[in-house]
Amino acid sequence: MSESQTTFIMVKPDGVKRQLVDEIIRRFESIGLTLIGRRDITPSLELAETHYGIHKERPFFSEVVDFITSGQVVAMAWKGENAISEARKLIGATNWEEAEPGTIRADFARSIEENVIHGSDGEDTALFELELWFPDGLEI
Ligand code: CMP
């Protein structure tokens, strides 16, 4: 079933430093999604900890928070048919070594932490993340 959705996508500091943002945007446009929000920011500790709150008890929590607060990220809202699952397909598996060839992570990630990009993993997560990163609202 096809459904219009909006998903939250973040190019992480490694992707920004390596100037991958334009290429990543091109790939999202090529699957027919529309960019409806963008913020280029260095996340605060509070924002990063809230974003990754679900992983609070995991051993990598402090590392992943340190990593995404280490520089500028590009937070984006992408809208379109089945945007959440279509974006996840384009991004590839969290573990870059398991990512399908041609996905963003297979092409660019260098480790499980430096995996270039984050994408919401479901509808509830997308709503939570969009509200967190776009507190002034979006036309979703
Ligand atoms: P992301 O999709 O942003 O969600 C959680 C992040 O934690 C993940 O991508 C990885 O960048 C990072 N991470 C670091 N170590 C691990 C791990 N062992 N398992 C899962 N995610 C990890």
Q: Which residues line ligand 1 (CB under 6 A)?
A: 55, 60, 64, 94, 112-113, 115, 118
Report residue 1's pLDDT band, with 50, 70 and 90 as the boundaries.
Answer: confident
- 123 three-class SS: helix
40 Cα to the center of ligand 1, angstroms? 21
| Residue from 51, 88, 105, 118 carrying the catalytic annotation | 118
41 Cα to the center of ligand 1, angstroms? 20
What pTM does this model have? 0.96
The CATH number of 4-133 is: 3.30.70.141
Nearest residue (CA) to ligand 1, atom 2: 118
Nearest residue (CA) to ligand 1, atom 10: 113
Q: What is the pLDDT of residues 35-94, one digit of tens each?
A: 999 999 999 999 999 999 999 999 999 999 999 999 999 999 999 999 999 999 999 999
Whether 118 is catalytic is: yes
Phi, psi of 14 (to 5 degrees): -65, -40
Structural domain boundaries in the chain: 4-133
